[in-house]
Structure 1
Amino acid sequence: MHSEIMILPIGASSFQEAMQMCSETYHHLKVIIQEKYASVACNVGDDGGFALNISSITECLDLTKEAIDRAGYNSRIKMAIDVGATDFCIGKKYDLDFKISTKSGQNFKTGEDMLELYTKLCTEYPIVSIEQPFDKDDWEHTKLFSALGLCQVVGDDLLVSNPKRIERAINEYTYNALLLKVNQVGTVTEAIEVVKQAQDAHWGVIVSHRSEETEDSFIADLVVGLGTGQLKAGAPCRAEQLAKYNQVRYS
């Protein structure tokens, strides 16, 4: 699977405390990776997160959970997954080994199989949010998963911050949260309108950065101005990410 594991400091009483909790957990994770895989495994990806050559999603979740435990935030930090399922959906099946050329095509899962997998993961790990669990056109299984009420189900590729697709998703109870990317919808005015649309439906809203970011910190002002309470800006590592968090602190 192509997955991004995130941590959510839901037990923090302030933004400063939230940053401290996440930063400490991030550095504990680095130590754990060094212990298990050696220092060479501590390379980071575009978003500042550790990019490991691991065998399964559970291996990654176990590492993250151990880091949370070592940092002492067992009950105060929860976990989230950005599945990015569109990337490995072929036809109507999901190729969990799509990045492994020698195994690609040998580990196909149906939508029903993926439902079972997410249900299992939410039961075994402190996962409170899953982003894009199914393909960009897989309305059926997304609705079925949202109906389970296991966690926040966040729409990205299926919604693309488009008001018409959001309206359909609201009417059909497809999601309960929106991932807002300003450049998807086009303008700041349009972004504000779709946030209001989502909030009127009692959805959560996550203001998100994009890959290959710069140090522009506008989304930090946007998340504060719109009061969404959720910002996805990458790990506390590189200047592109830290610029956003520093700006939130002073907004």
Structure 2
Amino acid sequence: MNRYLPIRKVYAREVLDSRGNPTVEAEITVGEGIVGKDGYTGRAIVPSGASTGKFEALELRDAEPRYRGLGVQRAVEHVNTVLADAVLGENALCQSRIDCLLLEADGTEKKEHMGANAILAVSLAVADAAAKAMRMPLYQYLGGCKSTQLPVPMMNILNGGKHADNTVDFQEFMIMPVGACCFKEGLRMCAEVYHTLKEFLKERKLSAAVGDEGGFAPDVQGAKEALAMMAEAVKRAGYTLGKDICFAIDVAASELYEEDKKAYYFPGESFMTGTEVYRTAEEMTAYYEELTETFPVLSIEDGLDQEDWEGWQRLTQRLGQKVQLVGDDLFVTNTERIARGITMGAGNAVLIKVNQIGTLTEAMEAVELAHKAGYRTILSHRSGESEDTFLADLAVAAGSGQIKAGAPCRGERTAKYNRLLAIEDMLGETACYDYKGINGNLRK
């Protein structure tokens, strides 16, 4: 684009995320005239994870008494001073240049000086402001006129691990409405299964309280029992398991791994059975094979530790032809780590979290690299979210075909789903929702 759209104002504030913790919100005003007269203001709120990979970009926290050490005043100050100076007057339509200037202002690989939360807030808000100035929907501004594919939701309906205070060791159990004709119907199917599961849990006198991402958090013995309850909910809701609804799992194995024992410890399962439960990488792989033979599990995320590249290779050789093996902590939306995985044949899909890497440009480069190599991508929220809906537009723009946005409850989760409903309406007959199977091309 040759048009010049200068950044006129940069401002950030400390706001709260869905867990009641501070995060950064940025406002960017662009326009050729006087701010407030004919300018356009974009906004972005940065999400935050509870289960984080050690190779993620740094989320800067104040480590002071206020907000129990989780304040982000320093990150906010960095936006309002150093980062503002770096981008004021720059062309908001040149996203890659803006992001490059932000990275130069920080100067570290993991965004340790400014904080990835400060950098990302500016990066996303610039894109939002530019889309508004161009009078284009954000998804179209980011992805172009061919951005027509609505993502299949990987909807979290049962929480465990660091996302819930219960005995479930795996972090997320999700449903995927693969048999739906469109996003609207897929969302309805998921919501009906979700509420049916709630009724079933109450029948069994189990807790229907929810975890960080809105999924229920009952005390159950392990993955098999959790999946069996989900299967019953699918049946009771009137759907066919494996045809209408399939399952996905986020193991978050790095949270279970004990380096000294070279094994994965299952504290919840140990508590429920009264016996210490450890599994080696080989036993984890065998466990996943058993689960996929018993239930229609299409996707397994972070099945092994984030540094066990050889284990990931073996896991992919065993299961990669029939199951989507997603690297989250393994890849952390980082092109260098994704390239290593592609070379080694570790995993076959990448979870994309913009706050893992820190800029919109880097996240889009990660998507492009993955797709070129035949790896699938899933756009993902974090456990600490907000009402910001950028993720929904980005999922359509990236053509990923899959999204993780949580359960069909809690406003920070439903905001993303409702935005996707609006996008589907805007696209009309050109909207595409087509899950082609685990080995299919999700980008069509």
TM-score by length of structure 1 reads 0.95
Q: Does 1:59 align with 2:249?
A: no
CA contact (8 A) 2:221 2:272 kept: no
CA spacing shift, 1:144–1:223, aligned 2, 3 Å: same
| Counterpart in the other structure of 2:25 | none
Question: Which consecutive aligned stretches of 4+ in structure 1 deviate over 3 angstroms post-superposition?
Answer: 98-105
- C-alpha distance in 1 between matches for 2:179 and 2:244: 4
Native 8 Å contact 1:97 1:104 kept in 2: no
Which of 355, 368, 382 is equivalent to 1:196? 368
Larger helix share, 1 or 2? 1
Paired with 2:230 and 2:239, the residues of 1 have a C-alpha distance of: 12
Cα distance in 2 for residues equivalent to 1:188 and 1:100: 41
What secondary structure does 1:42 align onto? coil
Q: What is the root-mean-square deviation of aligned Cα atoms in Å?
A: 1.6
Residues 201-216 of structure 1 correspond to what in structure 2 (within 5 A)?
201-216=373-388
Residue pairs, 1:1-251, within 5 angstroms: 1-38=169-206, 41-74=207-240, 75-91=243-259, 92-97=262-267, 106-148=276-318, 149-251=321-423
> After the TM superposition, which of the residue ranges 218-227 and 137-146 deviates more from structure 2?
137-146
* Paired residue type of 1:125: F
Q: Could you say if the C-alpha distance between residues 99 and 183 of structure 1 is closer, same or farther in structure 2, counting changes exceeding 3 Å? A: farther
Mapped contact 1:98–1:104 kept (Cα < 8 A): no
TM-score (norm 2): 0.54
Give the 3 Å change call, closer, same or farther, for CA 60–99 of structure 1 in structure 2: closer
Give the structure, 1 or 2, with the largest relative contact order (CA under 8 Å, sep 6 or more). 2
Asked if structure 2 preserves the Cα contact closer than 8 Å seen for 1:85 and 1:132, the reply is yes
SS state of the match for residue 37, structure 1? coil
Gaps in structure 2 of 5+ consecutive residues: 1-168, 424-444
Opposite residue 58 of structure 1, the aligned amino acid is: K
2:377–2:400 contact (8 Å) kept in structure 1: yes
Choose 1 or 2 for highest CA Rg: 2
State the shift of 1:226 in Å: 1.0
Percent identity for Structure 1 against Structure 2: 43
Deviates more, 1:130-139 or 1:141-150: 141-150
Counterparts of 2:406 and 2:419 in 1: how far apart (Å)? 14
Cα deviations by residue, 1:9-38 (Å, 9 ceiling, x for unpaired): 011110000001100000110010010125
Q: Tell me, in whole angstroms, the C-alpha distance in 2 between the residues paired with 1:135 and 1:213.
A: 25
In the alignment, the residues of structure 1 paired with residue 328 and residue 264 of structure 2 have an alpha-carbon distance, to the nearest angstrom, of: 17
- Distance change >3 Å, CA 105–CA 142, structure 1 → 2: farther
| 2:176 counterpart letter in structure 1 | L
Gaps of 5+ in 1: none
Aligned partners of 1:8 and 1:80 also within 8 Å: yes
2: CA distance, partners of 1:233 / 1:25: 16
The range that moved more, 144-153 or 109-118, is 144-153
Q: How far apart in 1 are the matches of 2:268 and 2:191? A: 31
Distance 2:314 2:272 in 1: 32
Shift of 1:72: 1.8
Distance between the aligned counterparts of 1:70 and 1:142, measured in 2?
36
| Partner Cα separation in structure 1 for residue 205 and residue 369 of structure 2 | 45
Deviation at 1:66, TM superposition (A): 0.6
Paired amino acid for 2:323:
C
Secondary structure (helix, strand or coil) at the match of 1:13 reads coil
Deviation string, structure 1 residues 97-153 (Cα, Å, up to 9, x no partner): 268679899211111111110000000001000000001111112111111223000
